Amino acid sequence: MIDIVTKAAAGAGGIVALARHLKISHNAMYSWKRVPAERVIEIERVSGISRHELRPDLFGPAASEQETAA
């Protein structure tokens, strides 16, 4: 499982709890190479991990990262 999903699962109360919130099998998350775009906002809501961290390729770096780079 990719690290960010493991981190999101911890924030959501565990892998089974995260899967339950997403209405998918927890085994499905083991096949992810990255968080699917259609799942980002829901995972952000449930886990508290920002969309920028979950999928920086789609949402860019977080505002705090942009300020650091400037």
Q: What is the pLDDT of residues 46-56, one digit of tens each?
A: 999 999 999 99
Number of compact structural domains in the chain: 1
Report the pLDDT value the prediction gives residue 4, as an integer from 0 to 100: 96
In Å, the largest CA–CA distance within the chain is 41
Q: Which residue segment(s) compose the domain that 54 sits in?
A: 3-69
Q: pTM for this structure?
A: 0.85
Give me the helices (H) in the chain, please: 3-12, 15-22, 40-47, 51-54, 56-59, 63-69
Which CATH number does the domain housing residue 46 bear?
1.10.260.40
**40, exposed or middle or buried, with CB in 10 Å at 0-12, 13-18, 19+?**
buried
Report the pLDDT value the prediction gives residue 65, as an integer from 0 to 100: 63
